[in-house]
Amino acid sequence: MKLSKKDILGMKELSRDEVTLILDTAESFLEVSMRKIKKVPTLRGKTVINFFVEASTRTRTSFEIAGKRLSADTVNISASTSSLVKGETLTDTAKTLEAMNPDIIVIRHGAAGAPHMLARMIKQSVINAGDGAHEHPTQALLDMLTIRQEKGVIGGLTIAIIGDIAHSRVARSNIIGLTMMGARVTVCGPAMMIPRDIEKLGVHVSHHMEEAVSDADIIMMLRIQLERQNESFFPSDREYSRYYCLDRATIERAKPDVLVMHPGPINRGIEISPEIADGTQSLILKQVTNGVAVRMALLYLLAGGEE
Ligand code: CP
Protein backbone atom coordinates (compact mmCIF):
# COMPACT_ATOMS: atom_id res chain seq x y z
CA MET A 1 0.00 0.00 0.00
CA LYS A 2 1.04 3.58 -0.51
CA LEU A 3 -0.26 6.78 1.09
CA SER A 4 -2.13 8.79 -1.49
CA LYS A 5 -0.33 12.00 -0.55
CA LYS A 6 3.00 13.55 -1.35
CA ASP A 7 3.87 14.91 2.11
CA ILE A 8 3.34 14.34 5.85
CA LEU A 9 2.91 17.86 7.20
CA GLY A 10 0.58 17.49 10.16
CA MET A 11 -2.05 15.33 11.87
CA LYS A 12 -4.62 17.79 10.51
CA GLU A 13 -3.94 16.54 6.99
CA LEU A 14 -4.32 12.82 7.88
CA SER A 15 -7.56 10.83 7.92
CA ARG A 16 -8.48 8.11 10.41
CA ASP A 17 -7.83 5.44 7.76
CA GLU A 18 -4.42 6.91 6.93
CA VAL A 19 -3.43 6.95 10.61
CA THR A 20 -4.52 3.31 10.95
CA LEU A 21 -2.50 2.38 7.83
CA ILE A 22 0.61 4.12 9.23
CA LEU A 23 0.26 2.44 12.65
CA ASP A 24 -0.34 -1.01 11.10
CA THR A 25 2.68 -0.57 8.82
CA ALA A 26 4.83 0.59 11.76
CA GLU A 27 3.74 -2.48 13.73
CA SER A 28 5.02 -4.69 10.91
CA PHE A 29 8.39 -2.89 10.88
CA LEU A 30 9.00 -3.30 14.64
CA GLU A 31 10.30 -6.80 14.02
CA VAL A 32 13.07 -5.59 11.67
CA SER A 33 14.72 -3.71 14.55
CA MET A 34 14.78 -6.91 16.63
CA ARG A 35 16.68 -8.92 14.01
CA LYS A 36 20.37 -9.74 14.21
CA ILE A 37 20.85 -8.06 10.81
CA LYS A 38 18.59 -4.99 11.11
CA LYS A 39 18.21 -4.22 7.42
CA VAL A 40 15.72 -4.84 4.61
CA PRO A 41 16.26 -3.82 0.96
CA THR A 42 12.91 -2.00 0.62
CA LEU A 43 14.24 1.50 -0.14
CA ARG A 44 17.48 0.56 -1.89
CA GLY A 45 18.37 3.33 -4.34
CA LYS A 46 16.22 5.95 -2.57
CA THR A 47 17.71 9.03 -0.92
CA VAL A 48 16.45 10.65 2.28
CA ILE A 49 17.77 14.05 3.41
CA ASN A 50 17.35 14.87 7.12
CA PHE A 51 17.44 18.66 7.26
CA PHE A 52 17.40 19.74 10.92
CA VAL A 53 17.50 23.48 11.51
CA GLU A 54 16.57 22.95 15.20
CA ALA A 55 18.23 20.67 17.75
CA SER A 56 17.06 17.07 18.05
CA THR A 57 18.27 13.77 19.45
CA ARG A 58 15.33 11.37 19.10
CA THR A 59 13.69 12.50 15.88
CA ARG A 60 16.85 13.01 13.87
CA THR A 61 18.55 9.81 15.01
CA SER A 62 15.44 7.71 14.50
CA PHE A 63 14.84 9.08 10.99
CA GLU A 64 18.45 8.26 10.12
CA ILE A 65 18.21 4.76 11.61
CA ALA A 66 14.83 4.23 9.92
CA GLY A 67 16.26 5.17 6.51
CA LYS A 68 19.34 2.98 6.98
CA ARG A 69 17.29 -0.03 8.14
CA LEU A 70 15.29 0.29 4.92
CA SER A 71 18.56 0.52 2.91
CA ALA A 72 17.95 4.11 1.79
CA ASP A 73 20.91 6.47 1.42
CA THR A 74 20.55 9.00 4.25
CA VAL A 75 22.17 12.43 4.40
CA ASN A 76 22.07 14.69 7.46
CA ILE A 77 22.24 18.47 7.32
CA SER A 78 22.14 20.69 10.38
CA ALA A 79 21.81 24.46 10.48
CA SER A 80 25.27 25.07 11.93
CA THR A 81 27.07 23.10 9.20
CA SER A 82 24.94 24.31 6.29
CA SER A 83 25.13 27.46 4.17
CA LEU A 84 22.22 28.87 6.22
CA VAL A 85 24.99 30.31 8.44
CA LYS A 86 26.28 32.19 5.36
CA GLY A 87 22.89 33.78 4.86
CA GLU A 88 21.36 31.38 2.32
CA THR A 89 17.57 31.48 2.49
CA LEU A 90 15.33 28.49 3.13
CA THR A 91 14.00 28.88 -0.42
CA ASP A 92 17.46 28.72 -1.98
CA THR A 93 18.45 25.83 0.28
CA ALA A 94 15.28 23.98 -0.74
CA LYS A 95 15.91 24.52 -4.46
CA THR A 96 19.53 23.37 -3.99
CA LEU A 97 18.46 20.16 -2.24
CA GLU A 98 15.74 19.56 -4.86
CA ALA A 99 18.36 19.79 -7.63
CA MET A 100 20.20 16.82 -6.10
CA ASN A 101 17.04 14.75 -6.65
CA PRO A 102 16.46 13.08 -3.28
CA ASP A 103 13.22 11.15 -2.74
CA ILE A 104 12.24 12.52 0.67
CA ILE A 105 13.29 15.57 2.70
CA VAL A 106 12.66 15.43 6.44
CA ILE A 107 12.69 18.92 7.96
CA ARG A 108 12.69 20.31 11.49
CA HIS A 109 12.49 24.09 11.70
CA GLY A 110 11.83 26.68 14.41
CA ALA A 111 9.30 28.50 12.22
CA ALA A 112 5.73 27.20 12.08
CA GLY A 113 4.83 26.42 8.46
CA ALA A 114 8.40 25.97 7.17
CA PRO A 115 7.75 22.32 6.07
CA HIS A 116 4.55 23.45 4.30
CA MET A 117 6.48 26.11 2.40
CA LEU A 118 9.15 23.56 1.43
CA ALA A 119 6.48 21.08 0.29
CA ARG A 120 4.93 23.71 -2.00
CA MET A 121 8.31 24.57 -3.53
CA ILE A 122 9.78 21.17 -4.33
CA LYS A 123 8.57 18.09 -6.15
CA GLN A 124 9.92 15.58 -3.61
CA SER A 125 8.05 14.35 -0.51
CA VAL A 126 8.46 16.40 2.67
CA ILE A 127 8.01 15.10 6.22
CA ASN A 128 7.51 17.57 9.07
CA ALA A 129 9.83 16.59 11.95
CA GLY A 130 8.54 19.49 14.08
CA ASP A 131 7.82 23.10 13.08
CA GLY A 132 7.94 25.71 15.85
CA ALA A 133 5.01 25.37 18.24
CA HIS A 134 2.79 24.15 15.39
CA GLU A 135 2.91 20.37 14.75
CA HIS A 136 5.05 17.28 15.33
CA PRO A 137 3.06 14.62 13.50
CA THR A 138 5.60 11.79 13.68
CA GLN A 139 5.74 12.18 17.49
CA ALA A 140 1.94 11.94 17.72
CA LEU A 141 1.96 8.84 15.50
CA LEU A 142 4.58 7.08 17.63
CA ASP A 143 2.63 8.06 20.75
CA MET A 144 -0.54 6.60 19.25
CA LEU A 145 1.29 3.39 18.30
CA THR A 146 2.55 3.09 21.89
CA ILE A 147 -0.92 3.68 23.35
CA ARG A 148 -2.52 1.15 20.97
CA GLN A 149 0.12 -1.48 21.84
CA GLU A 150 -0.30 -1.01 25.57
CA LYS A 151 -4.07 -0.53 25.83
CA GLY A 152 -5.23 -2.41 22.70
CA VAL A 153 -7.28 0.58 21.50
CA ILE A 154 -7.16 4.37 21.30
CA GLY A 155 -10.88 5.12 20.97
CA GLY A 156 -12.66 5.40 24.32
CA LEU A 157 -9.50 6.02 26.36
CA THR A 158 -9.02 9.12 28.49
CA ILE A 159 -5.67 10.86 27.93
CA ALA A 160 -4.44 13.67 30.19
CA ILE A 161 -1.86 15.94 28.51
CA ILE A 162 -0.17 18.02 31.19
CA GLY A 163 2.25 20.96 31.09
CA ASP A 164 3.13 23.68 28.63
CA ILE A 165 0.28 23.11 26.19
CA ALA A 166 0.55 26.57 24.59
CA HIS A 167 4.09 26.15 23.25
CA SER A 168 3.95 22.41 22.52
CA ARG A 169 3.75 21.07 18.96
CA VAL A 170 3.55 17.59 20.51
CA ALA A 171 0.38 18.57 22.39
CA ARG A 172 -1.27 20.05 19.29
CA SER A 173 -0.52 17.02 17.08
CA ASN A 174 -1.63 14.59 19.79
CA ILE A 175 -4.85 16.51 20.46
CA ILE A 176 -5.75 16.41 16.75
CA GLY A 177 -4.76 12.75 16.33
CA LEU A 178 -6.14 11.32 19.56
CA THR A 179 -9.52 13.06 19.31
CA MET A 180 -9.81 11.95 15.66
CA MET A 181 -9.21 8.35 16.80
CA GLY A 182 -11.97 8.67 19.42
CA ALA A 183 -10.04 9.32 22.65
CA ARG A 184 -11.18 11.83 25.27
CA VAL A 185 -8.42 14.37 25.89
CA THR A 186 -7.98 16.57 28.97
CA VAL A 187 -5.34 19.28 28.84
CA CYS A 188 -3.95 20.58 32.12
CA GLY A 189 -1.49 23.29 33.09
CA PRO A 190 -1.22 26.82 34.44
CA ALA A 191 -3.74 29.20 32.78
CA MET A 192 -0.88 31.06 31.04
CA MET A 193 0.16 27.81 29.33
CA ILE A 194 -3.29 26.83 28.01
CA PRO A 195 -4.30 28.56 24.75
CA ARG A 196 -7.60 30.40 24.85
CA ASP A 197 -10.38 28.58 22.94
CA ILE A 198 -8.52 25.27 23.04
CA GLU A 199 -11.89 23.63 23.83
CA LYS A 200 -12.70 24.18 20.15
CA LEU A 201 -10.29 21.31 19.43
CA GLY A 202 -12.63 19.03 21.39
CA VAL A 203 -10.64 18.82 24.65
CA HIS A 204 -11.61 19.31 28.28
CA VAL A 205 -9.51 21.85 30.25
CA SER A 206 -8.35 21.51 33.85
CA HIS A 207 -5.91 23.55 35.90
CA HIS A 208 -5.66 20.99 38.70
CA MET A 209 -3.37 18.06 38.16
CA GLU A 210 -5.12 15.73 40.63
CA GLU A 211 -8.42 16.29 38.81
CA ALA A 212 -6.81 15.76 35.38
CA VAL A 213 -5.17 12.44 36.30
CA SER A 214 -8.10 11.01 38.28
CA ASP A 215 -9.81 9.24 35.34
CA ALA A 216 -6.87 9.06 32.93
CA ASP A 217 -5.76 5.86 31.22
CA ILE A 218 -2.63 7.64 29.96
CA ILE A 219 -0.84 10.64 31.46
CA MET A 220 1.28 12.45 28.87
CA MET A 221 3.68 14.91 30.49
CA LEU A 222 5.25 17.80 28.54
CA ARG A 223 8.49 19.70 28.89
CA ILE A 224 8.33 23.46 29.45
CA GLN A 225 9.38 24.90 26.07
CA LEU A 226 11.71 27.62 27.41
CA GLU A 227 13.16 28.08 23.91
CA ARG A 228 9.73 29.26 22.67
CA GLN A 229 8.91 31.58 25.59
CA ASN A 230 9.97 35.20 25.48
CA GLU A 231 8.47 36.00 28.88
CA SER A 232 8.28 34.17 32.20
CA PHE A 233 5.08 32.16 32.60
CA PHE A 234 5.69 31.07 36.21
CA PRO A 235 7.75 32.43 39.12
CA SER A 236 10.32 29.59 39.37
CA ASP A 237 10.94 25.93 38.51
CA ARG A 238 10.20 25.11 42.15
CA GLU A 239 6.83 26.83 42.01
CA TYR A 240 5.94 25.07 38.74
CA SER A 241 6.93 21.62 39.98
CA ARG A 242 4.95 22.11 43.18
CA TYR A 243 1.73 22.13 41.14
CA TYR A 244 2.56 20.35 37.88
CA CYS A 245 5.25 17.73 38.55
CA LEU A 246 4.10 14.13 38.15
CA ASP A 247 5.38 12.40 41.28
CA ARG A 248 4.41 9.41 43.38
CA ALA A 249 1.83 11.36 45.42
CA THR A 250 0.01 12.56 42.27
CA ILE A 251 0.08 9.24 40.46
CA GLU A 252 -1.51 7.59 43.47
CA ARG A 253 -4.61 9.69 42.72
CA ALA A 254 -4.86 8.04 39.27
CA LYS A 255 -6.14 4.60 38.21
CA PRO A 256 -3.82 1.75 39.26
CA ASP A 257 -3.20 0.77 35.62
CA VAL A 258 -2.46 4.31 34.39
CA LEU A 259 0.58 4.59 32.10
CA VAL A 260 2.93 7.55 31.77
CA MET A 261 4.35 9.05 28.59
CA HIS A 262 6.70 11.91 27.78
CA PRO A 263 8.04 12.84 24.31
CA GLY A 264 11.44 13.80 25.76
CA PRO A 265 13.76 15.39 26.45
CA ILE A 266 12.64 15.35 30.08
CA ASN A 267 13.43 17.86 32.82
CA ARG A 268 13.79 15.53 35.78
CA GLY A 269 12.25 16.95 38.93
CA ILE A 270 10.45 19.76 37.10
CA GLU A 271 7.57 18.14 35.16
CA ILE A 272 8.26 14.52 36.16
CA SER A 273 10.06 12.96 39.11
CA PRO A 274 12.92 10.55 38.32
CA GLU A 275 11.06 7.83 40.24
CA ILE A 276 8.09 8.08 37.83
CA ALA A 277 10.17 8.64 34.67
CA ASP A 278 12.15 5.46 35.37
CA GLY A 279 9.32 3.51 37.02
CA THR A 280 7.26 0.53 35.87
CA GLN A 281 4.40 2.69 34.57
CA SER A 282 6.68 4.72 32.30
CA LEU A 283 6.53 4.17 28.52
CA ILE A 284 9.18 6.77 27.71
CA LEU A 285 11.79 4.41 26.23
CA LYS A 286 9.11 2.36 24.47
CA GLN A 287 8.07 5.59 22.73
CA VAL A 288 11.65 6.00 21.51
CA THR A 289 11.75 2.42 20.18
CA ASN A 290 8.42 2.92 18.40
CA GLY A 291 9.74 6.15 16.87
CA VAL A 292 12.05 4.16 14.60
CA ALA A 293 9.20 1.89 13.41
CA VAL A 294 6.84 4.81 12.74
CA ARG A 295 9.50 6.65 10.75
CA MET A 296 10.32 3.47 8.78
CA ALA A 297 6.58 3.19 7.99
CA LEU A 298 6.38 6.80 6.77
CA LEU A 299 9.48 6.53 4.57
CA TYR A 300 8.17 3.25 3.14
CA LEU A 301 4.64 4.51 2.52
CA LEU A 302 5.84 7.70 0.84
CA ALA A 303 8.75 6.33 -1.18
CA GLY A 304 8.40 2.65 -1.68
CA GLY A 305 4.98 1.39 -0.78
CA GLU A 306 4.12 0.01 -4.19
CA GLU A 307 7.33 -1.92 -4.63
N1 CP B 1 10.51 14.25 21.10
C2 CP B 1 11.40 14.91 20.32
O3 CP B 1 11.05 15.50 19.31
O4 CP B 1 12.69 14.83 20.77
P5 CP B 1 13.95 15.46 20.02
O6 CP B 1 13.81 16.95 20.12
O7 CP B 1 15.15 14.92 20.77
O8 CP B 1 13.91 15.01 18.59
Amino acid of residue 266:
I
Cβ(169) to ligand 1 under 6 A? no
At residue 230, the pLDDT reads: 62
User: Any idea what the Cα angle at residue 244 is, between residues 239 and 249, rounded to 5°?
Assistant: 105
Cβ(113) to ligand 1 under 6 A? no
Residues ≥6 apart with Cβ < 8 Å to 78 = 52, 53
Q: CATH topology for 137-287?
A: Rossmann fold (3.40.50)
* Ligand 1 atom nearest residue 60's Cα: 8
**Range 94-119 average pLDDT:** 97
At residue 304, the pLDDT reads: 82
**Range 137-151 average pLDDT:** 98
Cβ(61) to ligand 1 under 6 A? no
Judge whether 11-135+291-303 and 137-287 match in fold: yes
**Range 121-142 average pLDDT:** 97
**Range 59-70 average pLDDT:** 98
Q: Report whether pLDDT(1) > 90.
A: no
Cα of 307 to ligand 1 centre, how many Å?
31
Mean pLDDT of the chain: 94
* CATH 2.40.30.10 for the 11-135+291-303 domain, yes or no: no
E-strand stretches of 81-145? 104-109, 125-131
- The domain limits of the chain are 11-135+291-303, 137-287
Question: For residues 272 and 306, which has the higher predicted lDDT (pLDDT)?
Answer: 272
Q: Whose CA is nearest to atom 3 of ligand 1?
A: 59
At residue 234, the pLDDT reads: 67
How would you class 249 by CB atoms within 10 Å of its CB: exposed for 0-12, middle for 13-18, buried for 19 or more? exposed
259-261 and 204-206 beta bridge pairing: unpaired
**Range 262-271 average pLDDT:** 95
**Range 283-298 average pLDDT:** 98
Q: Report whether pLDDT(307) > 70.
A: no
